[in-house]
Amino acid sequence: STAASAARCSLLRPDYTPSHIPDPNYVRIFDTTLRDGEQSPGATMTSPEKLAVARQLSRLGVDVIEAGFPASSPDDLEAVRSIALEVGNTPEEGGHVPVICGLARCNARDIDRAWEAVRGARKPRVHVFIATSDIHLEHKLKMSRDEVARIAREMVAYLRKLGCQDIEFSPEDAGRSDRGFLYPLLEEVILAGATTLNIPDTVGYTLPSEFGQLIADIKANTRGIENAIISTHCQNDLGLATANTLAGAYAGARQLEVTVNGIGERAGNASLEEVVMAIKYRKDQIGGLYTGINTKHISMSSKMVTEYTGLVIQPHKAIVGANAFAHESGIHQDGMLKFKGTYEIMSPDDIGLSRSNESGIVLGKLSGRHALRSKLSELGYYIDGKELDDVFKRFKEVAEKKKRVSDDDIEALISNELFQP
């Protein structure tokens, strides 16, 4: 019946709708932890680890998994192939199967390998790229603009002929490319068959206002762009990757390339957790956009990537850092004990984080009596008045010497206090 099929459709993502017309507010999350993320110095993962991360990304609900760069080594080709065969054919609850993507430079050898690696997936994609900035053309590729445009066009057409229908094209270093060259090049690759146009700020050089304007200008000036999805890929060299990505989404990009924990070349990429949570919590300020991510899997994904890559995140890392939901100063602790919204804009539950103590309070030298009393009652000691004053005095002495006062320290302190002769 119509009602039953409407109900079924509501479980599906916008790109599964029968008409293939995606909801204009739906933003696809393209995760490149296994490709750009793995390019972080020292972050190499084994094939079984890559497969485990891919399974987790699928659970998390990412739309596209960039599983690797198959031409870079036979091992990487095999890792991408096994991800395509397993993760790319195993629907999650609700029917979601991610697109499995492989990266390739604009040459037939790379493209053949990428296509060979991903073609076993239910939804295979190949992502081809070639640099378009003058600085890259002159010093790296040693090619003219005409040559680059020809190669881009021909390689996208070649990929089409192989049978690949989902083709992503990236003009590398787009953030520093001349628009007079960029727009016509993008038009040509759309005509040749590209379905996603990814706009990389390869060296993390643009400011959010500039990057947002670049996306808006591409949208306004590229013929045929309405037949493709615009994507962002922002590096973090100036610490602006998340801000630039959000500016790109606001300006019309509907695919955002990110990595778990923000890992990637040099200073990394836009971080999945920051971009997704900003869209979730500031939806109204960002044009009503939304993603298909199940944010409850964020904490586990972050831990898994830390474990497998060995790249430890800083304690104050937004969303997933050890301190992201911890409160130490007395004023903040007092506020938190009265009402969590005073100092927490989101709940740790929302990223699947269960904290060991309800309030997230960490005792240290800045903590006040209110926080100490609450911690004591959490540990089963209900004291007040003069007794609390004495314990608080002792606590301050301990806290002066230690960075953090643990539950064990409190237990020791209170037993000394209570059982003094």
Could you tell me which residues come within 8 angstroms of residue 246 by beta carbon, excluding any fewer than 6 positions away?
Answer: 208, 275, 278, 279, 286
DSSP assigned state of 290: B
| Token pair of 77 as six digits | 């080709």
Q: Which is nearer to ligand KIV, 198 or 333 (CB)?
A: 198
- Minimum Å gap between C-beta 203 and ligand KIV is 8
User: Least distance in Å: CB of 266 to ligand KIV?
Assistant: 10
In angstroms, give the least distance from the CB of 341 to ligand KIV: 38
Shortest distance (Å) from residue 198 CB to ligand KIV: 6
* Contact between 369 and 396 (Cβ < 8 Å): no
Minimum distance from CB of 39 to ligand KIV (Å)?
8
Q: How far is the CB of 32 from ligand KIV (least distance, A)?
A: 7
Nearest residue (CB) to ligand KIV, 119 versus 233: 233
The tally of CA atoms less than 13 A away on the side-chain side of residue 57 is 32
The answer to whether 125 touches 99, Cβ cutoff 8 Å, is: yes
Nearest distance, CB of residue 196 and ligand KIV, angstroms: 11
Report the residue number, 97 or 143, with the smaller CB distance to ligand KIV. Answer: 143
CA nearest 97: which of 7, 12, 4? 12
From the list 121, 38, 105, 125, the residue with the least C-alpha distance to 75 is 38
Is-contact 240 212, C-beta < 8 A? no
CA distances from 157 to 132, 228, 236, 284 (A): 18, 15, 32, 40
For the bound state, the minimum distance from the C-beta of residue 146 to ligand KIV, rounded and expressed in Å, comes to 22
Q: Tell me, rounded to whole angstroms, the distance of Cα 260 from its chain centroid.
A: 5
DSSP E strand stretches across 119-277? 124-131, 167-172, 196-201, 229-234, 255-258
- From residue 401, alpha-carbon distances to 160, 176, 255, 404 in Å are 66, 51, 50, 9
* Beta strands in 142-252, from DSSP E residues, in sequence order: 167-172, 196-201, 229-234
Q: In angstroms, give the least distance from the CB of 86 to ligand KIV.
A: 25
Secondary structure (3-state) at 140: helix
- Residue closer to ligand KIV, measured from CB, 81 or 105: 105
> Which residue, 182 or 410, is less far from ligand KIV as judged by CB?
182
For 374-412, b/e burial (b = at least 16 CB within 10 A) is bbbeeeebebeeeebeebbeebeeebeeeeebeeeebee
> Concatenated DSSP letters for 382-399?
---HHHHHHHHHHHHHHH
Cβ distance to ligand KIV smaller for residue 110 or 334: 110
Whichever of 110 and 172 has its CB closer to ligand KIV, that residue is: 172
Of 158 and 169, the one with the shorter C-beta distance to ligand KIV is 169
> If DSSP codes are grouped into helix, strand and coil, which group holds residue 60?
helix
The residue ranges that bind ligand KIV (CB under 6 A) are: 36, 129, 170, 172, 198, 200, 202, 233, 235
Judged by CB, which is closer to ligand KIV: 169, or 325?
169
Nearest Cα residue to 190 out of 159, 228, 155: 228
Least separation in angstroms between residue 254's CB and ligand KIV is 17
Residue closer to ligand KIV (CB basis): 266 or 316 = 266
Q: How far is the CB of 30 from ligand KIV (least distance, A)?
A: 10
Task: Say whether 69 sits in a helix, a strand or coil.
Answer: coil
Q: Which is nearer to ligand KIV, 125 or 233 (CB)?
A: 233
